[in-house]
C-alpha cells in the first residue's frame, strides 16, 4: 500500500543533543510537510518542500532544519533540542493537483 512512513515512532534525546527524524513516502507526491504538534494542540506547520524548493514558515525557529535528498525522503533535523521541543512531529505529503494531505503516524520526541 502507498503510504507515508515515519521512523522512529518514538525518539528520546538529551537536551542539546542533535536529533534527526525521518519521513519516507511511496506516494510519489511532490510536496512534503513537517508539522509540530504539542500536547492537546493543533498541528503547526514548520516548513514544506515543493519539489526541491524549501519553504520555511516565518515563525519556525532556526533550531529546526530540513533536508530532502530525493522525492521519497525528507528529514527533520533539530540542532540543539530544548525541553520545549518535546512534541509529536508529523510528516505529510500532497501533490500540487489534489487537495488532500496524507499524514504519517508521527514521531513522538522526548527531550530529557
Enumerate binding residues for another protein (CB under 8 A). 4, 6, 9, 30-31, 40-45, 48, 50, 88, 90, 92, 94-97, 99-106, 108
Nearer to another protein, 11 or 101 (CB): 101
Work out how close the CB of 100 gets to another protein at its nearest, in angstroms, rounded to a whole number: 6
Collapse the DSSP code of 68 into the 3-class scheme (helix H, G, I; strand E, B; otherwise coil) and give the result: coil
Work out how close the CB of 110 gets to another protein at its nearest, in angstroms, rounded to a whole number: 13
Nearer to another protein, 3 or 79 (CB): 3
Rounded to whole angstroms, the Cα distance separating 43 from 39 reads 10
CB of 13 closer than 8 Å to CB of 111: yes
Contacts of 63 (CB under 8 A, 6+ apart): 78, 79, 80, 81, 82, 85
Work out how close the CB of 42 gets to another protein at its nearest, in angstroms, rounded to a whole number: 4
Nearer to another protein, 8 or 16 (CB): 8
Collapse the DSSP code of 32 into the 3-class scheme (helix H, G, I; strand E, B; otherwise coil) and give the result: strand
Amino acid at each position: 500500500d502507498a503510504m507515508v512512513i515515519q521512523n522512529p515512532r518514538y525518539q528520546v534525546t538529551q537536551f542539546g543533543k542533535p536529533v534527526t527524524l525521518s519521513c519516507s513516502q511511496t506516494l510519489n507526491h511532490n510536496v512534503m510537510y513537517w508539522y509540530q504538534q504539542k500536547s492537546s494542540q493543533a498541528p503547526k506547520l514548520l516548513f514544506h518542500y515543493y519539489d526541491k524548493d524549501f519553504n520555511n514558515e516565518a515563525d519556525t525557529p532556526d533550531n529546526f532544519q530540513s533536508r530532502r535528498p530525493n522525492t521519497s525522503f525528507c528529514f527533520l533535523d533539530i540542532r540543539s533540542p530544548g525541553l520545549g521541543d518535546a512534541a509529536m512531529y508529523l510528516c505529510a505529503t500532497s501533490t500540487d493537483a489534489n487537495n488532500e494531505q496524507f499524514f504519517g503516524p508521527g514521531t513522538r520526541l522526548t527531550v530529557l
